[in-house]
Amino acid sequence: MDAYWGWWIVAAVLAGAELVTNTFYLLAIAVALAAGGVAAFLGLSSEWQWALAVALGIALTFVAHRWRTRRLQPTPQEPADIGNSVRVILDSDYDPAELFRDETATERTVEESLRICAPVHIFQRWALEPAEIDGIEFKRGDKVSMILAAANLDPAKFSDPLAFKPDRNEAPNLSFGAGIHFCIGAPLARLELNVVLPILFKRLPGLKLAKTPVVKDVYHFHGLDRLDLVC
Ligand code: HEM
């Protein structure tokens, strides 16, 4: 087999993996390896093939990293939830100084913000066996969407569910999911929110909404496109 096929086969495998994982890094390396294949095809020595592939791999990994962070920046859950919480708090009639007066009050404020404005709206599951839930029949293989954000507003679990009431002492919210796939990062996300929000409102006690916040037009990683604030 000619040397260039080796480069291209590995590049194709990585490109396939990229389609599944959506990381951008695998795509960057796949392109670099494909370039190594082109160098081999053009008859360059194996040193030059490697030099080209490695140099391009490093450069494209940087590009992929830049692109990935830019693309993901507005969407990961915690920034989304910090924005959601700030908006919910400023939209409420509560005084932030009261909401964050101590650790217990802070924790309740954070949980209530997570409940009323879940950053992750929907997760999906597939039925492994026939089941009936609340009169609805599921066959094996049925795809089920769990709308976590709606579960957080269930009037059977939360009184006056659309109201922001940090002192409510009711069911736990489902913003981090439930069961074996319960969010592994929940303690970290909760810690961040419990640390960041009191600091923000303490440093900027006069914080107000400057304009109506613009909600992002996506169902996943529910968050804001714009949150204009004044002090
Ligand atoms: C406000 C922030 C966050 C929210 C709202 C959130 C939400 C969720 C939800 C709803 C699930 C369940 C998915 C399912 O049921 O299939 C989940 C799973 C997961 N989360 Fe988070 N998440 C947050 C932050 C984080 C952070 C900071 C990390 C990592 C450091 C993380 C890592 C994970 C992982 C690895 C899973 C998969 C767990 C499994 O499948 O067993 N999350 N997250």
Q: From 88, 117, 148, 183, give the residue whose CB has the most ligand 1 atoms within 8 Å, as the site to mutate.
A: 183
Whether pTM > 0.85 for this model: the answer is no
One-letter amino acid of 213: P
Least confident of 8-12, 87-91, 120-124, 139-143: 120-124
Give the pLDDT confidence score for residue 79 in this predicted structure: 64
Cβ < 6 A, ligand 1 pocket? 77-78, 81, 119-120, 123, 148, 175-177, 181, 183-185, 188-189
What does the chain come to in residues? 231
Distance, CA of 107 to CA of 90 (rounded, Å): 17
User: So what CATH class is 77-230?
Assistant: mainly alpha
Supply the pLDDT for residue 22: 75
Report CA(181)–ligand 1 centroid distance (Å): 8
Reported confidence tier of residue 111, pLDDT bands at 50, 70, 90: very high
Residue range(s) in the chain whose domain bears CATH number 1.10.630.10: 77-230
